[in-house]
């Protein structure tokens, strides 16, 4: 059985959305939270524990990463680190009794991926929030800056050096006792490039009036690119 090492954390230690958060499901919105101090206890409104979440979906996972460009299936390991924060999140639809909204445990941690070809060599996405309102159908998405990639993974359809910001997004879903998902590169250059110089004022004509001032040059346009890297599947 997996045992979580419970970090000393309060409500402010995790990245809880300011002001409550956006729509969750069925019109439910995040409205409150509390720290979990006993991972073996069933919190109010829940039917399972944080330890159940850890046993079902955290720890170490073995599987394959199917690299799109090469067509190779690389042996890989997916590892969920020790939690940095654990909270119970509560939702409401705005009605007096909160409506039929299901609470969820939030476990914030780091996720590491290794592949045998070392394209991903202990690369870590952090922080990742596992928000579990059940023990199945849980998803997360997290970004890793390309500058922080320890392995050799790189986009194949665009040159990363042509962009200011490049990152690798991991999108994963836990269902039927397995993690599956994808890795995708994305890049952008902000559209706040310097504007051109203002044109000179025209010379005076015969009446003594000055000519119009030239227009200011426009800034650069935002540049973006994306490339799928691969898909993965992990089991115990």
Q: Please give the C-alpha separations between residue 203 and each of 164, 167, 212, 216, in angstroms, as whole numbers.
A: 41, 51, 9, 18
Q: Is 168 exposed, middle or buried (0-12, 13-18, 19+ CB in 10 A)?
A: buried
The region of weakest confidence among 31-35, 67-71, 81-85, 199-203 is 199-203
Q: Which three-class secondary structure state does DSSP give residue 17?
A: coil
Q: How far apart are CA 161 and CA 184, in angstroms?
A: 17
pLDDT exceeds 80 at position 134: yes
Give the pLDDT mean for 87-107: 91
pLDDT score at 195: 42
Pair 144, 154: CB distance under 8 Å: no
pLDDT score at 15: 47
Q: What kind and span of H or E run contains 144? A: strand 138-145
**Helices vs. strands in the chain: H and E counts, helices first:** 1, 10
pLDDT exceeds 60 at position 182: yes
The region of weakest confidence among 15-29, 74-88, 93-107, 183-197 is 15-29
Identify the band that residue 100 occupies on the pLDDT scale cut at 50, 70 and 90.
confident
pLDDT score at 94: 87
Predicted TM-score of the model (pTM) = 0.80
Pair 119, 151: CB distance under 8 Å: yes
Most confident of 16-20, 77-81, 100-104, 189-193: 77-81
Q: Quick count: other Cβ atoms within 10 Å of Cβ 155?
A: 21
Give the pLDDT mean for 100-124: 97
Identify the band that residue 26 occupies on the pLDDT scale cut at 50, 70 and 90.
low
Give the pLDDT mean for 188-195: 71
Give the pLDDT mean for 71-86: 97
What would you report as the CA-atom Rg of the chain, rounded to the nearest whole angstrom? 25
More confident residue, 10 or 14: 14
More confident residue, 144 or 217: 144
pLDDT score at 201: 52
Most confident of 90-99, 131-140, 196-205: 131-140
Q: How far apart are CA 213 and CA 147, in angstroms?
A: 44
Q: Please give the C-alpha separations between residue 170 and each of 125, 189, 200, in angstroms, as whole numbers.
A: 8, 21, 51
Identify the band that residue 27 occupies on the pLDDT scale cut at 50, 70 and 90.
confident
pLDDT exceeds 70 at position 22: no
pLDDT score at 187: 98
| Mean residue pLDDT across the chain | 84
């Amino acid at each position: 059985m997996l045992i979580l090492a419970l970090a000393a954390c309060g409500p402010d230690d995790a990245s809880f959305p300011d002001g409550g958060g956006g729509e969750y499901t069925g019109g439910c919105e995040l409205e409150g939270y509390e720290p979990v101090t006993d991972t073996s206890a069933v919190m109010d409104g829940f039917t399972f524990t944080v330890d159940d979440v850890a046993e079902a979906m955290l720890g170490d996972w073995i599987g394959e990463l199917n690299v799109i460009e090469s067509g190779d299936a690389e042996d890989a390991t997916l590892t969920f680190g020790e939690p940095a924060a654990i909270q119970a999140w509560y939702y409401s639809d705005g009605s007096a009794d909160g409506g039929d909204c299901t609470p969820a445990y939030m476990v914030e941690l780091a996720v590491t991926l290794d592949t045998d070809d070392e394209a991903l060599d202990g690369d870590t996405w952090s922080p990742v929030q596992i928000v579990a309102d059940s023990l199945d159908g849980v998803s997360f998405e997290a970004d890793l800056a390309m500058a922080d990639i320890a392995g050799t993974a790189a986009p194949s359809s665009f040159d990363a050096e042509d962009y200011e910001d490049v990152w690798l997004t991991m999108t994963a879903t836990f269902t039927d006792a397995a993690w599956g998902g994808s890795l995708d590169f994305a890049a952008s250059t902000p559209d706040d490039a310097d504007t051109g110089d203002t044109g000179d004022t025209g010379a005076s004509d015969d009446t003594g009036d000055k000519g119009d001032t030239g227009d200011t040059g426009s800034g650069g346009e935002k540049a973006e690119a994306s490339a799928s890297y691969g898909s993965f599947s992990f089991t115990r």
